[in-house]
Amino acid sequence: MAARGAAQAHQTHNHRECIEDALKRAREICAGRGAQLTPLREKVLQIVWRSHKPVGAYDVLDELARSHKSARPPTVYRALDFLMGEGLIHKIESLNAYLGCVEAGAPHSGQFLICRQCGATEEIVDAKLETALDQAAKQAHFAGERKVVEISGLCARCAA
């Protein structure tokens, strides 16, 4: 199981290194697929990765506008759609916000632990959970197209 989030962010986590690793991985993935990771898209990805909390599209726009004066909502939404399409970020549906993907490039569904107090969000990747969801959908004769599991509660730091 892979994870990123509150526990890492509050311990010995080097966030600058985390962002650089995410950007490097994104460049490799896009180059391997022949996808265009433009400077603007890369900047949007960097903004999404700036913390371990989901970020809304208008927050991305506000920060992007500091360096790209012509940035408008359609620009941001196109960049976010591209990044989601390439599996570099996830949309946290319950928050209508975006989070960098810890398993970029690997096929998986979104599984998230969301702290209702501090907002820290941890992506978990649990193959058993993914299999259980697939089996439940199959038994119900349901053709699932997208899986997102979001669990709200308190992270270890806020619960203490």
Nearest Cα to 110, choosing from 131, 81, 89? 89
Q: Please tell me the distance from the alpha carbon of residue 111 to that of residue 160, in angstroms, as a whole number.
A: 23
Instruction: Give the helix/strand (H/E) hosting 3.
Output: strand 2-4
Write down the pLDDT at residue 90.
94
Question: From first to last of its 160 residues, what are the pLDDT tens digits of the chain?
Answer: 444 444 444 456 677 888 999 999 999 999 999 999 999 999 999 999 998 799 999 999 999 999 988 889 999 999 999 999 999 999 999 999 999 998 898 888 889 999 999 999 999 989 999 999 999 999 999 998 888 899 999 999 999 9
Instruction: Give the helix/strand (H/E) hosting 112.
Output: strand 110-115
Enclosing domain of residue 153: 2-159
Length of the chain: 160
* CATH number of the CATH domain containing 8: 1.10.10.10
Nearest Cα to 110, choosing from 144, 149, 52, 54? 149
- DSSP, collapsed to helix, strand or coil, labels residue 150 as strand
- What domain count does the chain have? 1
DSSP string, 15-30: HHHHHHHHHHHHHHHH
Q: How far is CA 78 from CA 48, 70, 120, 154, 160, in A?
A: 14, 14, 25, 33, 40
Written as one letter, the residue type at 98 is Y
- 67-100: pLDDT as tens digits: 988 889 999 999 999 999 999 999 999 999 999 9
Q: Please tell me the distance from the alpha carbon of residue 110 to that of residue 112, in angstroms, as a whole number.
A: 6
Q: How close are the terminal C-alpha atoms of the chain, in Å?
A: 24
